[in-house]
Amino acid sequence: MPRRTIFLGFECNNRCLVCAQGDLRRQLSSSEEPAILAAVEAIQPGEAVAFVGGEPTLSDGLPELVRLADERGAATILVQTNARRLAYPAYADALCDASKRLALDASLFGASSAVHDYHTRVPQSFAQTARGIRRVSARGVKVGITVVVTRSNFRHLSEIVRLGRALGADSIHLATIERFGSADALYPSLAPNDELARPYLETARADAARLGMRFLEGPPEGTDLEARFAGTGPTDLGALSSLGPARYDSLRGGA
């Protein structure tokens, strides 16, 4: 399936320890509206489209962009999000009403505020994220959860899987830390010991299977958006929606 990523800017309401974009939110402004509209107007029928940031839901215009993508014939419309703004009924309803092809890739770091908020560095972010995921999944929107596995959360992976299912998610991706952005400088304190983490990952995998959740482990590459949300197999959305190291370096003005 052809893929198209539409970047809505660096603004974000979290300050995640593993953020791929690091300090770029303070260096660059959001994408200009004409460029975003041009990207939406260029969508071809049958494409898988991802709206990414930053945090895409901080854009008041996102529901309209999703509606336009639907009109252009996008096969699947993904929003990569921390889901916090979706805790607000009016915004969540507007986004859900914009397209029946909508899907979410929601980030979750823990099954409690203590673990999740530690990673986001924003108090009460866990409560909003959980409410947001529950609200949109109750509307019938397919939700996949991405968990970046760290030294501080690997012992809680099974709890996260069970919470994700309880909130309505039908797939889960246990992602490895990518060494760029904020995670580069903090990597020694963030990365889990592989040998210690492996039993917890395997238990999480078994729990996901028992709960009927599609499961993926590893870096965000070589995946198929359609498969994850059509139910044909486990996939990851990161290859479609992540900036990636090369994109990060180019935006910083590097090679």
Q: What is the pLDDT of residue 82?
A: 98
Considering only 36-40, 115-119, 128-132, which range has the smallest mean pLDDT? 36-40
pLDDT at 25 over 90: no
Q: Give every CB contact of residue 167 below 8 A, 6+ residues apart in sequence.
A: 130, 133, 134, 137, 143
Q: 203-212 burial string, b = 16+ CB within 10 Å, else e?
A: ebbebbeebe
Q: 241-250 burial string, b = 16+ CB within 10 Å, else e?
A: bbbbeeebee
- Assign 222 a pLDDT band (cuts: 50, 70, 90): very low
- Assign 179 a pLDDT band (cuts: 50, 70, 90): confident
- Assign 4 a pLDDT band (cuts: 50, 70, 90): very high
- Assign 24 a pLDDT band (cuts: 50, 70, 90): low
pTM: 0.85
pLDDT at 160 over 80: yes
Nearest residue to 30 via CA among 4, 61, 3, 71: 61
Every domain of the chain and the residues it spans:
3-146+220-247
Please name the fold of domain 3-146+220-247: TIM Barrel (3.20.20)
